[in-house]
A and B are shown apart, each in its own frame.
Chain A
Amino acid sequence: MPSPSDRPPLVSRGFRGRRDNSPSDRVPPGQYVTEDFPVLSAGPTPHTPLEQWDFSIVGEVDELRSWTWEEFRALPSEDVTVDIHCVTKWSKLDTVWQGVSVDTLLDGVETAAEYVVQFCDGGYTTNVPLEDVTGGKAWVAFAYGGEPLEPEHGGPARMLVPHLYFWKSAKWVRGLRLESTDEPGFWEVNGYHNYGDPWREQRYWGD
């Protein structure tokens, strides 16, 4: 598709934008580091009361599992400091979270499934291979920066899968569905990449 203009973008004197783009081996290609924490959402913020909240492991597992908020918060949790990378080009370094490792949630679960669908309040889904959320690579996070996770950032709990673009870390997550076939989620069927590795700049479908 030809570009409507042959002229390269005009540089505006004195405009820098609010980012620190110091080159770093911690910043994937095409990303800019920000001090902010932009709030991006595909839909309205859900407000599920904690008394009604639960987290479930469902799908091709030997037994379904489910935790109420109290049960979930009683599980062993970890403090993790990770870099996060959004496909809209901002990266945020050294973000501090507290969450329950997915390994803890799947401990003892028997499955032949190779894929996971994260499902959420509001209907959002995203898919990841099972091996990308196990082995210490993913958490269900309930606190950010030492404070309970705010609703606009996915609270009470969201997925944290920092090695992939951040749309693969679903906000307002309510469970994981394990499957033997891959099921592309909300953004994967609408133009974004099925896997989403920021280091290979896998932003869009077909990249």
Chain B
Amino acid sequence: MARAAVLGRLTWLVAEVVDVVPETDGVKTIVFDVPGWPGHRAGQHVDVRLTAEDGYQAQRSYSIASAPDASRIELTVERLDDGEVSPYLTEELREGDQIELRGPVGGYFVWEPSQGGPLLLVAGGSGVVPLMAMLRARETAGSDAETRLLLSSRGWDDVIYRGELERLDGDGLTVVHTLTRTQPQSWTGYARRVDAEMLAEVGPDPTERPFVYVCGPTPFVEAVAEALVRLGHAPQNVKTERFGPTGG
């Protein structure tokens, strides 16, 4: 991990859209071909830059959703109603369009298969994106690290990557959902916001010293991280990434 520390100055790379894939209502995965892409680690993100014809620029950060060894990179973007960039990425972009991005960036919120487990991944909404990269990396590497994903979503139709998570479930991976606003008729799972009791039930026990990654909106991350530490997880084992407006 130390070798990757000295990376030199970042440059803006041209990324071309090769596919746009709907995930849920308002969430799309965009597949990019990026000549010169240096590869990345699960959990890292890119800065995206858009320039208008008159030179006006907007910049946002998005987590890389794809596994590290993929030849293309994928970003999963949630359309924010009052957003400036996300509506463009999710509604305007089409195959052949080009944007600029730089990366990969971030070495703190990263999981590599060589670390092993156990792993606890806790996601709020679109916070699942970097954690999905970790699960995809885990699968590609053939890792058997014991892993639990606790994913909080508004409703069953809001669960991003739902089908793929069902497919990956098993083989050392346990996927637990909580649906905070609406639940299907026969739902027997969690139906409330993530709290200490839920985290204790989902596990693993703090004595197993799992690597914990928490990602989502700031209030979600604050509440979950605090609960984890109160349950006995060592703060240095709990890594957090807060999602929110990253305009720069």
Q: Which B residues, 80 to 120, have Cβ-Cβ distances below 8 Å to chain A?
A: 82, 84, 88, 92, 97-100
- Are B56 and A9 neighbours in the complex by a CB distance under 8 Å? no
Q: How far is the CB of A93 from chain B (nearest CB, A)?
A: 17
- Are B12 and A9 neighbours in the complex by a CB distance under 8 Å? yes
- Are A9 and B49 neighbours in the complex by a CB distance under 8 Å? yes
- Are A11 and B52 neighbours in the complex by a CB distance under 8 Å? yes
Contact with A along B43-68 (1 / 0, CB 8 A): 00000011111111110000000000
Q: Which B residues, 125 to 177, have Cβ-Cβ distances below 8 Å to chain A?
A: none
Contact with B along A1-20 (1 / 0, CB 8 A): 00011010111111111110
Q: Is A180 an interface residue (CB 8 A)?
A: no
Q: Is B14 an interface residue (CB 8 A)?
A: yes
Q: Is A21 an interface residue (CB 8 A)?
A: yes
Given the known inter-chain contacts A9-B100, A14-B88, please indicate yes or no for A4 contacting B9, CB distance below 8 A: yes
Q: How far is the CB of A189 from chain B (nearest CB, A)?
A: 22
Residue of A nearest to B49 (CB): A9
- Are A17 and B98 neighbours in the complex by a CB distance under 8 Å? no
Give the distance in Å from the alpha carbon of A138 to the alpha carbon of B243 in the complex: 36
Residue of A nearest to B98 (CB): A10
Interface size class of A (residues with CB under 8 A): 10 to 19
Residue of A nearest to B88 (CB): A15
- Are B51 and A21 neighbours in the complex by a CB distance under 8 Å? no
Give the distance in Å from the alpha carbon of A19 to the alpha carbon of B92 in the complex: 17
Specify which chain B residues have a CB less than 8 angstroms from the CB of A7 in the assembled complex. Answer: 12
Give the distance in Å from the alpha carbon of A63 to the alpha carbon of B116 in the complex: 68
Specify which chain A residues have a CB less than 8 angstroms from the CB of B5 in the assembled complex. Answer: none
Give the distance in Å from the alpha carbon of A101 to the alpha carbon of B223 in the complex: 42
Q: How far is the CB of A29 from chain B (nearest CB, A)?
A: 13
- Are B51 and A13 neighbours in the complex by a CB distance under 8 Å? no
Give the distance in Å from the alpha carbon of A19 to the alpha carbon of B49 in the complex: 16
Q: How far is the CB of B240 from chain A (nearest CB, A)?
A: 17
Specify which chain B residues have a CB less than 8 angstroms from the CB of A14 in the assembled complex. Answer: 88, 92, 97
Give the distance in Å from the alpha carbon of A5 to the alpha carbon of B51 in the complex: 15
- Are A11 and B51 neighbours in the complex by a CB distance under 8 Å? yes
Q: Is B7 an interface residue (CB 8 A)?
A: no
Contact with B along A92-130 (1 / 0, CB 8 A): 000000000000000000000000000000000000000
Give the distance in Å from the alpha carbon of A13 to the alpha carbon of B52 in the complex: 8
Q: Is A192 an interface residue (CB 8 A)?
A: no
Given the known inter-chain contacts A5-B12, A32-B56, please indicate yes or no for A18 contacting B84, CB distance below 8 A: yes
Q: Is B186 an interface residue (CB 8 A)?
A: no
Specify which chain A residues have a CB less than 8 angstroms from the CB of B100 in the assembled complex. Answer: 9-10, 12
Give the distance in Å from the alpha carbon of A11 to the alpha carbon of B9 in the complex: 22
Q: Pick the contact of B97: A5, A9, A12 (CB < 8 A).
A: A12
Specify which chain A residues have a CB less than 8 angstroms from the CB of B98 in the assembled complex. Answer: 10, 12-13
Q: Pick the contact of A17: B9, B12, B14, B50 (CB < 8 A).
A: B50
Contact with B along A151-164 (1 / 0, CB 8 A): 00000000000000
Q: Is B10 an interface residue (CB 8 A)?
A: yes
Specify which chain A residues have a CB less than 8 angstroms from the CB of B88 in the assembled complex. Answer: 12, 14-15
28 contacts between A and B (CB under 8 A): A4-B9, A4-B11, A5-B12, A7-B12, A9-B51, A9-B57, A10-B12, A10-B14, A10-B98, A10-B99, A11-B53, A12-B51, A12-B88, A12-B97, A12-B98, A13-B97, A13-B98, A15-B51, A15-B58, A15-B88, A17-B50, A17-B56, A17-B57, A17-B58, A17-B84, A18-B84, A21-B54, A21-B56
User: Which residues in B have some Cβ–Cβ distance to A below 8 Å?
Assistant: 9-12, 14, 49-58, 82, 84, 88, 92, 97-100
